[in-house]
Chains A and B, each alone.
Chain A
Amino acid sequence: MSKSAILRSSIAKKYWMALTGLFLCTFLIGHLIGNLQLIFIHGEEGRRAFNEYAYFMQHNIFIKVLSYVTYISILFHAIDGLMLAVQNKKARPQKYAYNNAGANSSTASRQMALLGSIVLIFIVTHMVNFWAKMHFEHIPLHTYEVTLPQQTNPEMVYYTHNHSLIPIQVDKVVVVRDETNLYLENTDLKLGEGYKDLHSVVMAFFGQSKNGFVTNSLALWATILYVISMAVMAFHLWHGFASAFQSLGLRHKRYTPIIAVTGKLFAIVVPFLFAIIPVLIFIGYVK
């Protein structure tokens, strides 16, 4: 067996599509749970929770590795998918004058490359909107008072720093904020990080009202774009989820119907929950 078959044979290409596709489905779940904080935790608490989460996602080594696997999966899935689509176009150089394809298959199943390409354009746009901002641009920091733990001895304050409790004697705890971090007054002791205020960036992106940011006249268009993209994603998954199991040869009288139903539910629920986030921000339900 030639080594190249692992990348070149039609069936092996499908294994890669299925594996990367299913991995991206798990990515969607993780990403969704993180994002749902935007609508389930309100006010200042929500802002803090989301910014801490964003900070964690950028700094945790495990997440970092996972994020690279995700980038590679998207690239691989997209390139492999487009290569397959080009080959498939070539396999029928002359079209039918009249093709009643709707009689035998779903539109989504026949348009995976088109749907995927729209999703790809969305992913790129989305990354420019937020990911690039977060990584490469200056974002104002979100700093806040740190409530130190209740102490038995009022003279002594313990603060966790690098996993150890550090006692410091103070009269009064005053948190000083600078651009990046929170320090105990007159000390070098860092009490916490200042978080890049991604929450406000998101709110300003989709929200019409002010959040200390300029009112965004593009918010409506951004919201529409995101909702449409999620609808496209839904169609991609409507066929894709169950299809991936078939590609991997995972088919069984008992489990395949369950996979099919799960796939349809996944295709509806996940993009729907993603889509309501910008909508709720736009209509001002969350600020």
Chain B
Amino acid sequence: MASKTININLKIWRQKNANSKGSMETYKLDNVSTDSSFLEMLDQLNEQLVNERKEPIAFDHDCREGICGSCSLFINGEAHGPDRAVTTCQLHMRKFKDGETIYVEPWRAKAFPVIKDLVVDRSSFDRIQQAGGFVSVNTSGNTIDANAIPIGKAAADKAFEAATCIGCGACVASCVNASAMLFVSAKVSQLALLPQGKVEAQQRVLNMVKQMDEEGFGNCTNTGACAVECPKEISLENIARMNREYLKAMVSAE
């Protein structure tokens, strides 16, 4: 297939640092291959900016293959852009038309403050994880092989699906309430479904939700936007499960 090129206009959020006031800036970029990824297109733009002796645009990225969860752009009004089940690094320029104006903004949430341009601080997710997203394992020499514990296929599959969450934050970014429920519920579910995770299940859900609230995320109104925009297609079923887990823990934990 012959590669096509398109010319595009970009409106990109520029912000010097966490404390400065940013604004949307307009750029023109020609000869963008439709086979390039969105991030490659931004590389191309940055090259152009560097050649013009202008400050390149800062954006997060690492693996560029949809597994690390670093890339985080709100493109044309949607987290990770118009495509489904992909991260920004997996989004291709063939999804855009010649002459199109593309909006690129950072995730917007109080709990994800902008550090610079399109880069946001997602350490609030780390703190939620630290509040309970783990299992305590005895490492004093007599570790038990995790595979020695039989786990039903259905539970194993569900736990695995929940575990595919890469912590990108697209759920928060797309939610009208900037709620982190999909992320937190994936992390709660992934462990609550497995025997190893059941031991600390009650304290885990209480602590993770408490941390989630303290970080300033909004409250879920079940809009479902998160699951639509999630690159890993994490299901709303996880949120329902967390709601159940929390209710159980709330009425019975000491």
**Is residue A209 contacting chain B, with contact meaning CB distance below 8 A?**
no
In chain B between 202 and 249, which residues have their CB closer than 8 angstroms to a CB of chain A? 206, 209-210, 212-213, 216-225, 228-229, 236-237, 239-247, 249
Whether A12 touches B250, Cβ cut-off 8 Å, given contacts A92-B108, A96-B105, A101-B176, is yes
**Is residue B37 contacting chain A, with contact meaning CB distance below 8 A?**
no
Q: What is the CA–CA distance of A239 and B104 in the complex, to the nearest angstrom? A: 30
Whether A88 touches B212, Cβ cut-off 8 Å, given contacts A13-B219, A15-B247, is no
Residues of A near B178 (CB, < 8 A) are 88, 91-92
**Is residue B11 contacting chain A, with contact meaning CB distance below 8 A?**
yes
B247 with A109: CB separation less than 8 A: no
A20 to chain B, nearest CB (A): 15
In chain A between 81 and 116, which residues have their CB closer than 8 angstroms to a CB of chain B? 84, 87-88, 90-101, 103-106, 109-110, 112
In chain B between 143 and 190, which residues have their CB closer than 8 angstroms to a CB of chain A? 174, 176-179
In chain A between 220 and 249, which residues have their CB closer than 8 angstroms to a CB of chain B? 239, 243, 246-249
A100 with B77: CB separation less than 8 A: yes
**Is residue A169 contacting chain B, with contact meaning CB distance below 8 A?**
no
A110 with B223: CB separation less than 8 A: yes
**Is residue A6 contacting chain B, with contact meaning CB distance below 8 A?**
yes
B250 with A109: CB separation less than 8 A: no
A1 with B108: CB separation less than 8 A: no
Whether A1 touches B229, Cβ cut-off 8 Å, given contacts A90-B110, A98-B77, A98-B103, is no
| B11 touches which of A10, A97, A109, A248 (Cβ 8 Å) | A97
Whether A1 touches B247, Cβ cut-off 8 Å, given contacts A96-B105, A103-B228, is no
B243 with A9: CB separation less than 8 A: no
Residues of A near B219 (CB, < 8 A) are 10, 13-14, 84, 87-88
B77 with A99: CB separation less than 8 A: yes
**Total A-B pairs, Cβ < 8 A:** 144
Question: Which residue, B217, B229, B237, B246, has most C-beta atoms of chain A within 10 A?
Answer: B246
Q: What is the CA–CA distance of A95 and B24 in the complex, to the nearest angstrom? A: 12
B218 with A87: CB separation less than 8 A: yes
Residues of B near A112 (CB, < 8 A) are 221
Q: What is the CA–CA distance of A106 and B176 in the complex, to the nearest angstrom? A: 11
B77 with A103: CB separation less than 8 A: yes
In chain A between 52 and 95, which residues have their CB closer than 8 angstroms to a CB of chain B? 84, 87-88, 90-95
Q: What is the CA–CA distance of A112 and B78 in the complex, to the nearest angstrom? A: 21
**Is residue B109 contacting chain A, with contact meaning CB distance below 8 A?**
yes
Number of interface residues of B (CB under 8 A): 51
B216 with A106: CB separation less than 8 A: no
A251 to chain B, nearest CB (A): 4
Residues of A near B110 (CB, < 8 A) are 90-93
Whether A10 touches B250, Cβ cut-off 8 Å, given contacts A90-B110, A103-B228, is no
A106 and chain B: residue at smallest CB distance: B223
**Is residue A218 contacting chain B, with contact meaning CB distance below 8 A?**
no
B119 to chain A, nearest CB (A): 15
A91 with B177: CB separation less than 8 A: yes
B218 to chain A, nearest CB (A): 3
Q: What is the CA–CA distance of A97 and B13 in the complex, to the nearest angstrom? A: 9
Residues of B near A243 (CB, < 8 A) are 221-222
B109 with A1: CB separation less than 8 A: no
Residues of B near A5 (CB, < 8 A) are 206, 210, 250
Q: What is the CA–CA distance of A178 and B82 in the complex, to the nearest angstrom? A: 74
**Is residue B125 contacting chain A, with contact meaning CB distance below 8 A?**
no
A109 and chain B: residue at smallest CB distance: B223
**Is residue A28 contacting chain B, with contact meaning CB distance below 8 A?**
no
Whether A11 touches B242, Cβ cut-off 8 Å, given contacts A88-B219, A91-B177, A239-B222, is yes
Residues of A near B228 (CB, < 8 A) are 103-105
**Is residue A127 contacting chain B, with contact meaning CB distance below 8 A?**
no
B243 with A246: CB separation less than 8 A: yes
Whether A88 touches B218, Cβ cut-off 8 Å, given contacts A98-B77, A250-B240, is yes
**Is residue B38 contacting chain A, with contact meaning CB distance below 8 A?**
no
Question: Which residue, B74, B225, B241, B254, has most C-beta atoms of chain A within 10 A?
Answer: B225
| A109 touches which of B103, B224, B239, B241 (Cβ 8 Å) | B224
Residues of A near B254 (CB, < 8 A) are 1
Whether A97 touches B103, Cβ cut-off 8 Å, given contacts A246-B222, A247-B222, is yes
A98 with B105: CB separation less than 8 A: yes
B250 with A6: CB separation less than 8 A: yes
Residues of B near A87 (CB, < 8 A) are 218-219
B243 with A97: CB separation less than 8 A: no
Q: Which 7 A-B pairs have the closest CB atoms?
A: A100-B77, A249-B244, A91-B218, A251-B240, A249-B243, A88-B177, A104-B228
Could you write out 8 A-B pairs with CB less than 8 Å apart? A1-B254, A5-B206, A84-B221, A90-B216, A91-B109, A104-B224, A246-B240, A248-B247
Given contacts A14-B243, A91-B109, A99-B77, 8 further A-B contacts (CB under 8 A): A1-B254, A95-B108, A100-B82, A103-B78, A103-B82, A105-B224, A109-B222, A246-B236
Report A's interface with B, CB cutoff 8 A: 1, 5-6, 8-15, 84, 87-88, 90-101, 103-106, 109-110, 112, 239, 243, 246-251
